[in-house]
Structure 1
């Protein structure tokens, strides 16, 4: 059975497969490898997808829609003629078109796929993507993060090893991932991004500035006129170079000439470029790495062709970024390679992928300082923890004689819990007692399949309650689900109980007991640092501090202190 790789993009989508000769990108019925992610409905109610639909955006704007990927995971609905669609349904129509093209190309049914998603997509958006695939008749073997797919394409293509910063600026989303490729392992150190920053926003900025200059609002223009203005600005964005462009613009009641210059475009793009800098800096900061350690900066996504974006990145890192693979198709190539790995094609060496949790997972706790503000968010698994991961936190009852404790599960970064994404909840019974006396351990265990297992253990009774939050139901077979849960169960112990960590703590205690004065105080400080790292339960941080402590203790054991 052939598994295809799909890049489901905001502006364009593409698919491919791995063969003995490498990646083959699958052409659509028009012979093109890029299919515009545009859906329309004709006067007979028939669905139109791709380039034909995109050409109808001007004259049939009420029956055509683009850039709906930004609405994935929401309840927003789009009306096309007399029909109404969700973003999931619209995406399924694009996926069905790609599936049909692949079947025509291969001459056989296609029912399985690896689909790429922005690294910063939350669980709801990922679930919506899988549901879209199911509606299109595809079983999703895996969702792969777009920057990871791009890194696979670059890593396997060039056989390079090192630390890569992947910047993926597409039509509607911006993704940043910091990955390391070594010994056949692709390890994600950190990811960040902006789900509402892409090439479409640069065009929006161009249109808004033109309208502002002529003291017009969007509502002042007819839909057809406004759509035509958008297309002219999109074309100018693509053509802009050292030579100025002179455009004749229809603004309804008047026709004007507008000169598009590099300086003008730079001025209106500055706010967007500043927005792009934030997730880049955040990913590097989260990974705890200095920019000088990055071996290569790789550009992915059609919007990275913008000279001003490349220039900004070059200034940030003091070097030219890499972009020798086609930024429009590199994600589809990576997805196809991953599909080939899943088929265990003999022409491919296996690559082990490690990923991170892109959002913080936590629960709500009482805000005693100002209850009117609502509950605070207590992070349990923090963003950019390497998955699979299992972390436990202790909480207590908030009221006298409380008999039930409800653990609500959220995803996000906001200090106030209600501003984060609700995922589910678990209620447990506790014996009545004065507030604060009854305590429970709340353990979150998360893996790259999207399984979040919540275990709550009541200390006084010893009883454990369990709840599985699966935002991609049906994506895993029961056997695969049990296998994933079995792996997670192996992680369900506190890091301080691990054999290596216990041995290191005992070694530190032995040295402390045999020392006096400044040497003893120094050892105590070192061991406190290690214990604090263990309490935070971040595997990457523990490994780093563990190495530092081992080096310190080894140095102390080899020296004579007086």
Structure 2
């Protein structure tokens, strides 16, 4: 089998805008689309029924809202149908149209077909939403090498060359979602300690708040609700978005739209001056919701604001003055904007892509699970029947990858079948958690030893969950991979969906569907040179050691094992007795396996070390 050395790009698939980046000339760089570093996350159909996207689609949104779709990211993870022209699509299909355009931009930049990507998602995306994103990448013809969290990606381009311990709050306020992550960076390892967020909170809500204010004023004066008229609503929504941007620099701005409505056969114009102070009052509740998330994340990380060394801003909504002002008051420090907040996530995804290809980068990533995962279990019987509760297996903020097993018992002797119902959430009541998959397992035997069941959860770095159920006495094993269970399309539908999208891509004037690429880069595709702190080097040769300890180079070849070794050093003083002896032995054996280049042995021993550290924490 030959190794695939084709380029891997990083993609920030955003609610409002999307960005594609790659490592070019040893540096993470953004690839221009339509002359801009970011592309509006909007798709549509033109007058000839051809697919359009980005700026061109945005320009027709107000005039043809029935032929244009924006902010599809907020529907990811659902099967809510969306109409585009006379056709109905699922959210992953619409996202695939955006990704396909970005793939084409990257292919033109590289002069070859680009089919591999690292795609970012909000940290608080659940399993359904993550799988929908992977599905969209697949429909766009991309092999999704990794799904990573947006705030986590952003940390990869901040302080990448620092080896001092630093605690950073990453505040990611985008167009449709909000996340905050508390991150520890030390000795080249980036460890996410906790994440909180709201997938229904972003710049779209700020625009809507201003829209409601303007519409209420207009309705009071003219008796007409512009929100009930689709074309007028979308025109005004775009005007409110422009006003929001202008108010980031000006104390006041004017929203003016001619012929916005009609009354008694006469056209009506809209002209209204909006003060920044008025806008601040409108958006204050949304900003306060982000502050509440910060408090929760800090509590989860067992830290305080005063222990933060840096506050990193990510996402376009952080440009709103009130947001920065409120954060200054909360953190008593100036927020960091060392990297463009609109581009940091895509640049970090490009760095992660380089790491997957074996390149040396400035930081090793240790991410966490943002949701608790577990099972529906019976805890007793009542007159109403079984008493059911949610039993956590992988707790929120567990380091990834995470692998845990738990022993359970059947309800009665001789039980012939058990249903394993996998849930996601933080509530004891089953119905208050999200169902993400279930499967049934036939059982054997009727004696006491056959009642024991072992359920294992294995959560990967990109949030894919594998659940296994074992009956040790019989040797029976059943398995569920959640990414398959959550697939947005049945196998019978996939071919039809893929065929329809391929036809759209082939007929679009924006997308080069050819499989051959010119050696020269297309003049319309520019590379944005970002002066980031990341240094990309060639892969290292065999790892040298000093005094039996693996030095820095180990983190590039064995990032998980290296991160666990770093963690074990921090916990060493708290481990005593037999556990301390086992820890020393594991560390020495991992070092030896690293020196020998025995990848399989390193992975096996790292799993043992991970288990030991879990039990002693």
Q: TM-score range by the shorter chain?
A: 0.7 to 0.9
Change (3 A) 1:383 1:67: same
SS of aligned partner of 1:303:
helix
Tell me which residue corresponds to 2:495.
none
Paired residues in the alignment total 490
| Superposed counterparts of 1:132-281, under 5 Å | 132-156=136-160, 161-213=165-217, 214-215=219-220, 221-240=228-247, 241=249, 243-248=251-256, 250=260, 252-253=262-263, 254-281=268-295
Residue of structure 1 in register with 2:420 after alignment: 407
- Structure 1: distance between partners of 2:159 and 2:384: 51
CA deviations over 1:322-350 (Å, ceiling 9, x no partner): 112111111111111222222334xx436
* 1:310 alignment counterpart: 324
Question: What residue is the counterpart of 1:558 in the other structure?
Answer: none
Q: Answer whether contact 2:457 2:466 (CA < 8 A) is retained.
A: yes
Query: How far is the alpha carbon of 1:425 from its aligned partner?
Result: 2.5
Could you say which residue in structure 2 is the equivalent of 1:523? none
Deviation per residue, 1:423-460 (Å, 9 max, x gap): 233425265579x994434332322144434344447x
Q: How far did 1:381 drift?
A: 0.9
Higher relative contact order (CA 8 A, sep 6+): 2
CA distance in 1 between counterparts of 2:19 and 2:385 reads 49
In structure 2, the gaps of 5 or more residues are 1-5, 488-557, 565-574, 583-609
Contact between 1:451 and 1:468, CA under 8 Å: does it hold in 2? no
In structure 2, the residue matched to 1:356 is 368
- Matching of residue 126 in structure 1 with residue 130 in structure 2: yes
Distance 1:291 1:225 in 2: 44
Distance between the aligned counterparts of 2:295 and 2:611, measured in 1?
A: 21
Q: CA 1:52 to 1:428, structure 2 compared with 1: closer, same or farther past 3 Å?
A: same
Deviations 1:233-283 (A, max 9, x none): 111111114522233354654545433122211221122112212322222
User: Conserved in 2, the CA contact under 8 Å of 1:5 and 1:333?
Assistant: yes
Change (3 A) 1:171 1:363: same
Q: Within 1, Cα distance between the matches of 2:235 and 2:74?
A: 22
Question: What does residue 41 of structure 1 align with?
Answer: 45
**TM, length-normalised to structure 1:** 0.79
**1:298 alignment counterpart:** 312
Offset of residue 63 of structure 1: 0.2
Distance change >3 Å, CA 467–CA 298, structure 1 → 2: same
State the distance in 2 between where 1:389 and 1:24 align.
Answer: 32
Contact 1:203 1:237 in 2 (8 A): yes
Conservation of the 8 A alpha-carbon contact between 2:23 and 2:29: yes
Partner of 1:530: none
Closer, same or farther: CA 431–209 of 1 in aligned 2, 3 Å: farther
Give the Å deviation of 1:151: 0.4
Find the counterpart in structure 2 of residue 32 from structure 1: 36
Determine the C-alpha separation between the residues in 1 that align with 2:382 and 2:168.
Answer: 44
Unpaired segments ≥5 residues, structure 1: 476-483, 491-499, 508-536, 545-562
How far did 1:473 drift?
9.3
Distance 1:473 1:362, change over 3 A: closer
Counterpart residue number, 1:443:
456
Residues 398 and 189 (structure 1 numbering): CA distance in 2 closer, same or farther, change over 3 Å?
same
| Counterparts of residues 470-549 of structure 1 (less than 5 Å) | 470-471=482-483, 503=578, 543-544=616-617
Provide closer, same or farther for how the CA distance between residues 75 and 196 of structure 1 changes in structure 2, counting only shifts above 3 A.
same
Looking at structure 2, the residues matched to 168 and 136 of structure 1 have their Cα atoms a distance apart, in angstroms, of 26
Q: Deviations over 1:173-214 (max 9, x none)?
A: 111111122212111111121111110000111112333343
User: 1:329 and 1:252, CA in 2 relative to 1: closer, same or farther beyond 3 A?
Assistant: farther
Give the SS at the match of 2:158: helix
CA offset digits 1:499-524 (Å, max 9, x no partner): x67725999xxxxxxxxxxxxxxxxx
Change (3 A) 1:323 1:252: farther
Contact 1:386 1:540 in 2 (8 A): no
Find the counterpart in structure 2 of residue 560 from structure 1: none
The aligned counterpart of 1:382 is 395
Contact 2:152 2:181 in 1 (8 A): yes
Judge conservation of contact 2:298–2:304 (CA < 8 Å) in 1. Answer: yes
Q: 2:338 is paired with a residue of what secondary structure? A: coil
- Structure 1 CA distance, aligned partners of 2:114 and 2:233? 40
Question: Conserved in 1, the CA contact under 8 Å of 2:370 and 2:397?
Answer: yes
Distance, in Å, in 1 between the alignment partners of 2:576 and 2:456 is 20
The 1:467/1:147 distance shift into structure 2, 3 A limit, reads same
User: What is the deviation of 1:308?
Assistant: 0.8
Cα RMSD for the two superposed structures: 3.3
Q: Deviations over 1:65-107 (max 9, x none)?
A: 1000111121111111112221111111111111111222221
Cα offset, 1:402, TM superposition: 3.5
Match of 1:80 among 80, 84, 89: 84
Q: CA deviation at 1:3?
A: 1.5
- Corresponding residue for 2:349? 335
Paired residues of 2:188 and 2:364 also in contact (CA < 8 A): yes
